[in-house]
Each structure stands twice: as structure tokens, then as C-alpha cells.
Structure 1
Amino acid sequence: MPRSRRVAAVPPSPRRGIRDRHGRGMRSAVTGPHLEPLRTRVDDFDMTVASTAAYLRGLWPELEGVTFQVAQGPAEAIHDDHVDRWRVYHDERRIVFYRLPIVRFLRLQEGEEREERLLVESCVFRAVADFLGKDPWELAPGRYRHL
């Protein structure tokens, strides 16, 4: 004969509209309480652009006040014969990087984060060189002599 379960009445959650099944409280983070939150590929892309831009700002005072932005990949970046990976706005002192065109053309396999970072850094160097009217190799003279 089945026994009935006795369940204590659970007071309603103070936050209405949030699902709280069976009165056990909200679920915890996927990584658990003792692990740092997961970093996504989008976060890695943004961090690579930001760190490379900070490095170049330290070398070139002309970049003071230039805004570096990341966009997904708007329709105006697609042309008949090519897809823009970045756009330089000289009058607004702004450089916009299109994440999807940069990442999609990589065709990387799992575990090739180093190659992705190198490509993103090279795009930042080329966009800044375009902004400054220089060759990308002139941006960090002496930096790559060991190659």
C-alpha cells in the first residue's frame, strides 16, 4: 500500500514570477559555488581586442581618445566581393571590429585558441595601422625581430 508523503508548506518566494519548483530554491550556477564563472569565446574575443588595443595605446599617443568597439557583424559589412572584418571611422575616432566575420573565416578546430587569438590580434594591428596610415609592421618596431 503506497504511503503518502508529508510535505511541509513552503512559503511563497518573495520574488514573484521566478520559477521555484517544489520549494527548493533557485538553482545554483553551473560551475558551482567554488569555481569561477565560465568564460565564453565572445568574452575571449573582447578581451583580446581590449588587451591588444591597450598595448598599442601605450606605444602610440595618437590613439588617445580612439574608441575600440566590437559588433557582431552588421549587414553593411557584407559586399559583393568581400566581407569587412573591421571598419575605421577617422572623423569619429572609432574602430569597430566585426566578430563574426573574423571568427567564421578561421575554420578552427576545438582547442586552437592560440591561433584564434593571433588572428584577432593581427586584425587589431591592421585596423590600427589603417587608422594611423602606417604599415602594421611599423606599429611595434623591434617587437618581432626574433621571428
Structure 2
Amino acid sequence: MSRSRRSAAPEPTVRGRGRDRHGRGIRSSATGPFLPPLRTRTDLFDMTLVAAIEYLRGLWPQELGKSVFEVASGPLSVVPGVGVERWMVTPAMNRVVFYRLPIQRLSRLHENDEMHQRMMIETCVFRGVAELLDKDPWDLAPDRFRHF
């Protein structure tokens, strides 16, 4: 029995245009065309950060009116003896940079649910703003913690 030889070289496969496996067509989003897209961890982080900053700006309009708040993936280096920073404050520029990945992934939560993740993000915002204003984090919103 003789084998047939292919005279033409096989065509290269084109990747990156979507998934079309076994002739089923390109995959759609998991939520479908009529539902809003699912919330991601980045969306939760951004919404919580903005809400906490707006709350503090309402309490401290003069001090935080011209402050700049930014989000970065992570710090460029590790601080010896401290570890990975969660935020960086630059008082001369009136700026606070929050590092999303260290806050989300390196924080040890006793329960990893959405409420505790939001509390961790808010804690970092309060501590970063307190460092910017040179105040204690508990002094930023004293009436918030009075329950009597």
C-alpha cells in the first residue's frame, strides 16, 4: 500500500478572531445580549474606592478639594522591612495612589466575600487619606462610628 503525499503545504491556522470550534460559531458573552455584563473585581474595586473618596470629600471639602486620587496595578518595588505597599502618598503634590492588586490579593480576610472586600478597600482609602491629611483615620469621620 502506498501513501499519498501532499504536494501543498498546510495552511497556517489564523488565531485571535474568536472561538469557532467544531463549526458552532463564535462564542457570545456569558450574560447574553440583553443582560448587563457581570461585575468584575476591578469594577467592585473602582466603585468602592470612588464611593469612599466622595464620602471623605463631602466631610473634608477644603482639605480634599484639590487632591488627586489615582489607581495603579501595583508598586514598582518592594519596600524592605515593610513589604508591598497598598498606597503611596505624595503630600507635596497632594496625591494618593492606591495599588489595586496588593489591596485585593495580599490582604488577608477572615471571610472572603464582597462585604469584607469592600471593607478592606475602604480601610485602605481611609488610611491613605489620613496619611495625606496627617490625621488619625478614626478622626476623619468621627460621627460615623457613634452608635449611641
- One fold, TM greater than 0.5? yes
After TM superposition, the structure 1 = structure 2 runs for residues 59-138 of structure 1, keeping only pairs within 5 Å, are 59-61=59-61, 62-76=63-77, 78-82=78-82, 83-108=84-109, 112-138=113-139
Quote the RMSD (CA, aligned, Å). Answer: 2.4
CA distance in 2, matches of 1:64, 1:132: 12
CA distance in 1, matches of 2:24, 2:57: 51
Asked if structure 1 preserves the Cα contact closer than 8 Å seen for 2:73 and 2:99, the reply is yes
Alpha-carbon offset, residue 56 of structure 1: 0.3
Distance 1:43 1:20, change over 3 A: closer
Alpha-carbon offset, residue 28 of structure 1: 3.2
Partner SS, residue 98 of structure 2:
strand
Structure 1 alignment gaps of length 5 or more: 1-16
CA distance in 1, matches of 2:24, 2:104: 41
TM-score (norm 1): 0.76
Structure 1, residues 97-121: CA drift from partner, whole Å, max 9, x if none?
Answer: 0112112222448851111110110
Distance 1:20 1:114, change over 3 A: closer
Structure 2 alignment gaps of length 5 or more: 1-15
Asked if structure 1 preserves the Cα contact closer than 8 Å seen for 2:67 and 2:95, the reply is yes
Alpha-carbon offset, residue 57 of structure 1: 0.4
Instruction: Count the aligned residue pairs.
Output: 130
Identity of paired residues, percent? Answer: 55
Find the counterpart in structure 2 of residue 13 from structure 1: none
Distance 1:110 1:36, change over 3 A: farther
Partner SS, residue 143 of structure 1:
helix
Structure 1, residues 21-74: CA drift from partner, whole Å, max 9, x if none?
Answer: 699986432210221111110111111111100100011021012111111112
CA distance in 2, matches of 1:116, 1:26: 35
